[in-house]
Structure 1
Amino acid sequence: MYKYDFQTLLDRIILPGLRDTVIMLGGTVVTCTFFGFLLALILITTDVNGLRPNRLVYEVCSAIINVLRSVPFIILIITIIPLTRFMVGTTIGTTAAIFSITIVGSPLIARLLEGCFKEVNPSLIEAAKSFGASDWQITFHVIVSESIPSIVSHLTLGYVSLLGFTAMAGTVGAGGLGAVALTYGYQNFNDTVMYSTVVILIIIVQFIQFGGNVLYRKLK
C-alpha cells in the first residue's frame, strides 16, 4: 500500500487523471455526435414513414445499433481489442479509448436523435412538401431545425453516459479518473483518492447537466 500526501495525490495522480478524462470525453463527444447524427438521419430517412423508405437499409442499421447497444461496454471494449489495435495501433491510452467509446456511444446518440426527429409534427413535413421543398431542405430546415431543443436535452443525457464510459474504459488501461479510482483508490485501499474521483465526476456531470439545461431553456 502506497502513501501519498494530498498535494502529491493532486499533482501526480488526480489532475493527470482528470486531464485524460476530459480528453476522452471531448473526443468522444465530437465523434459520437458526428456518427450518431449520420446514423439517425439514415434511420429517420429510410423509416417506413420517412422521406425515402427503405426497409432493408433501415433494418440493417437498426440491427447493428441494437447489437452494439446490447453488449455491456466493458465486454465490448475487450472484444474489439484486435480492431482497436488495428485502427489506432494500440489498445491502451486515451486514443484507443476514444475509438472504443465511439463504437458503443454512436449507436446510443443515434437512438436519442432518432427519437428527437420523430417528435416533429408530421403536418410540418407535409406542408414543406406542398411548397416543393426538397428532401434535403425538409431534413435540415424542418426535421432537424424543429428538433433542436429536444436534441440539446437528449444529448445532455447522452454526454453524461459517455462520461460513464470513460470511467469504465479506465479499468482496461485507458487512463483517466476511472483508472485512478480503481488503481490508486480501490486496489490501494485509499479512500481519499476514491472519494475525490467520485466528487470530481459528480461535478463534471452537474456541469454538463447545467449547461444542457441552460441551452435548452434558451432554445425552447
Structure 2
Amino acid sequence: MDFLNDVFTNPALSKALPGAIVETLIMTGFSGLLVLIIGLPLGVFLHTGQKNGLTPLPWLHWFLSSIVVNITRSIPYAILMVSLIPFTRIIVGTGIGPMAASVSLTIGTVPFFARLVESALRDVSSGKIDAALVMGSTKMQVIRKMLLPEALPALVSAFTTTLVVIVGYSAMAGLIGGGGLGRLAYNYGYQRFDTTVMIVTIIVMVILVQLIQFIGDWLSRKVDHR
C-alpha cells in the first residue's frame, strides 16, 4: 500500500509519465515503420541476391551484406547513437527528442531486421520456388506471390522481435535527450534517487514489451495457414 501511495502521489510520475509513454510509442512506431519499409526489401535481397539466389547480384550482395549490414550490426547501439548525432541534426534539424532518436533507432535496427528476414526466407522450400518458375512465374511474381506469403508467419515474428529490440534501444536513447521512458528513468529515477519512478518505469516497459509480443504472436498464428 505504501508503494501505491508513493506512485499516486509522486509528482514526477503524474506530470512526466504520460508524456514519456507517448514519446516511447512515437519512437517505437515511427522507427518500426521505417525499419519495415527499408529492412524488408533489404532482407529479401540478402536472400535472393546471393550467387545462387533467385536474382543473383554477387557484388552488390557482398557490399550490402558484408559492409553495410555486418559493420552496422557490429557497432554497439550506444556508440552508434552518439556518432549519428551530427547526421541526425541534418535529417530532422535537431539532435534531441523522439524524432531525432528515431533516426539512430532505424539505422541501428534495419540490419538486425534484414538478417531476420533473410533467415525466414531461407526456410522456404526451394522446391516450391522451382515449381513456380517452371509454371512460368516471373522472378518478381515468385517473390511477391510465393516467397513472402510462405514466410509470412516467420516475418511477423521477426518484426515483433525487432519492435521489442527498438523498445529497449529507445530507453538508451533517452539518456542523451531522446525522450521517452528512458529519459524519465534517468532524470528522476537515477539522478534524483527516486526508486518509485525507476520501478514504475520498468513495469511500464515490461507491459509494453509483453503487449507487443502478445499481438505479434497472435498475428503470426493468424497468418499461418499451414
Is 1:73 paired with 2:77? yes
How many residues in Structure 1 have an aligned counterpart in Structure 2?
218
Distance in 2 between residues matched to 1:181 and 1:12, nearest whole Å: 13
- Which residue of structure 2 aligns with residue 48 of structure 1? 51
- Which residue of structure 2 aligns with residue 198 of structure 1? 202
Distance in 2 between residues matched to 1:61 and 1:192, nearest whole Å: 45
- Which residue of structure 1 aligns with residue 29 of structure 2? 26
Q: Deviations over 1:2-22 (max 9, x none)?
A: x99735333311111111001
Of 43, 53, 65, the residue aligned with 1:62 is 65
- Which residue of structure 1 aligns with residue 135 of structure 2? 131
- Which residue of structure 2 aligns with residue 182 of structure 1? 186
Distance 1:4 1:118, change over 3 A: closer
- The normalised TM-score by structure 2 is 0.93
Query: In percent, how many aligned pairs have the same letter?
Result: 37
Distance 1:10 1:201, change over 3 A: same
Is 1:14 paired with 2:53? no
Is 1:151 paired with 2:129? no
Distance in 1 between residues matched to 2:208 and 2:177, nearest whole Å: 21
Of 95, 98, 104, the residue aligned with 2:102 is 98
Distance 1:121 1:4, change over 3 A: closer
Matches within 5 A, 1:80-95: 80-95=84-99
Q: Deviations over 1:12-70 (max 9, x none)?
A: 11111111001101101100111101211221221123112121111100121111111
Q: Deviations over 1:56-108 (max 9, x none)?
A: 11110012111111101110011111111111111000111111111111111
- State the Cα RMSD in Å: 1.5
CA contact (8 A) 2:7 2:196 kept: no
Distance in 2 between residues matched to 1:155 and 1:26, nearest whole Å: 12
Shift of 1:215: 1.3
- The normalised TM-score by structure 1 is 0.95
Q: Which amino acid is the alignment partner of residue 38 of structure 2?
A: F
Q: Which runs of 5+ in 2 are unaligned?
A: 1-5
| Structure 1 runs of 4+ with >4 Å offset | none
CA contact (8 A) 2:117 2:155 kept: yes
